[in-house]
Amino acid sequence: MSEQVQQTAETGQKKKRILSGIQPTGTFTLGNYIGAVRNWGPLQDEYECFYFIADLHAITVAIEPAELRRKSLEAYAQLLACGIDLEKSLVFIQSQIPTHAQLSWVLNCSTQFGELSRMTQFKDKSAKHPDNINAGLFDYPVLMAADILIYNADLVPVGADQTQHLEIARTIARRFNQRYGETFKIPEGYIPPLGAKIMSLQEPTKKMSKSDTNPNAVILILDDKDTIIRKCKRAVTDSGSEVVYAEGKDGINNLLTIYSTVTGRTIEESVKEFEGQGYGTFKVAVGEAIADHLRPVREEYARLIADKAYLKECYTRCGTEALRQSSRLLSKVYRKVGFVQSEIR
């Protein structure tokens, strides 16, 4: 995107801004894809989009340095392979844009300890990693608020598990605006109507998660067709046999949601399609539909990850623009809170 101040052709009005991020903690899951990333590409024509790899967030949980570096590049290539077009959007790496962490410090001072203590993700991750309850894990939502607020984003497309983080970002923005005068836009969430929470294939009352230790619970967007079908065949379902969307049928409901989102059908259409057919046939059909849908992503990813020089050129160019854009708001914030204006260049 050469000039960031974009206008919509018809109205001449400034385009609204979208921002979202994803952690580079492993290959994206089908949950990441359906709940978030898949929706990012189609938004590019209507909005000015900023997408990034949240590597600063990734170190809140222990990760080997070489692994983080590799996974960050892989995540970058996966985002591009999922249909994000660099002619239309900026895709960058969070740690390369220092303004996020700088704003995050200022926002810390507009955030209450009690508010952060109530975050469910903090409670869940603390329980999961009792030996590493670090301050970064606690402060995670404030950095996320900074990511959003520093670009004055209007809309944040995320899965349902990020709602609480979005809410605190809105609270922090309002509080800052009240104390220092109008500075930040109050962002809205953009949660997809279908697929906002894709569940584990092995425990369908739990969300599908990159960190799940059971590989059969999670479909990765780079899994090959046989693997995807095998995982779907093993998916935990109930003891019934009718493919219907109903209370208590968490496993089938999840598969129906997945099938409908990847084929572009409604749940009702999918249910009708499998009328009179058993779970076995249905599970194979779900696996095939997922694999067919993801084939172009896998192929494009293989092409991109082999070209590290191209990836570097992309994240450097986009990062330069992201830094330029975000520095403006950071200067405004620094002025408002009373820091002496710096002449250091």
Q: Which residues contribute to the site for ligand TYM (CB under 6 A)?
A: 19-23, 31-32, 34-36, 54, 57, 144, 147-148, 156, 158-159, 161-162, 196-198, 207-208
55 versus 287: smaller Cβ distance to ligand TYM: 55
- The one-letter amino acid code at 22 reads I
CB closer to ligand TYM out of 23 and 202? 23
Q: d(Cα 92, Cα 51) in Å, to the nearest integer?
A: 7
Helix-, strand-, coil-residue percentages of the chain, each rounded to 5: 55, 10, 35
Cβ distance to ligand TYM smaller for residue 57 or 170: 57
Q: Which residue is nearest to ligand TYM (CB)?
A: 35
Q: How far is the CB of 62 from ligand TYM (least distance, A)?
A: 16
Contact predicate 197/35, CB 8 Å = yes
CB of 301 to ligand TYM, least distance (A): 17
The answer to whether 169 touches 176, Cβ cutoff 8 Å, is no
How many residues are listed for the chain in this entry? 345
Q: Catalogue the active-site residues.
A: 125, 207, 210
Closer residue to ligand TYM in complex, CB, 133/242: 133
Considering beta carbons, is residue 162 or 270 the nearer one to ligand TYM?
162
All residues at 6 or more sequence positions from 252 whose CB lies less than 8 Å from its CB, including other chains: 237, 238, 240, 243, 244, 245, 246, 279, 282
Place of tokens 């992503």: 297
User: Tokens representing 325?
Assistant: 């854009």
CB of 306 to ligand TYM, least distance (A): 24
Q: Which is nearer to ligand TYM, 105 or 339 (CB)?
A: 105
CB atoms near residue 193 (< 10 Å) = 5
Dist. CA 284–CA 269, nearest whole Å:
17
User: What is the rounded radius of gyration, in angstroms, for the C-alpha atoms of the chain?
Assistant: 21
DSSP state of 222: T
Burial degree of 175 (CB within 10 A; 0-12, 13-18, 19+): middle
Min dist. Cβ of residue 340 to ligand TYM (A): 30
Cβ atoms 11, 332 nearer than 8 A: no
Handedness of CA 252, 253, 258, 261 (dihedral sign): positive
Nearest-angstrom CA–CA distance, 124 and 30: 21
The minimum distance between CB 20 and ligand TYM, in angstroms, equals: 4
DSSP calls for 143-165 = HHHHHHHTTT-SEEE--GGGHHH
Rounded least distance, CB 24 to ligand TYM, Å: 8
Which residue number, 273 or 323, has a Cβ lying nearer to ligand TYM?
323
Tell me how far, at minimum, the Cβ of 187 lies from ligand TYM, in Å.
Answer: 9
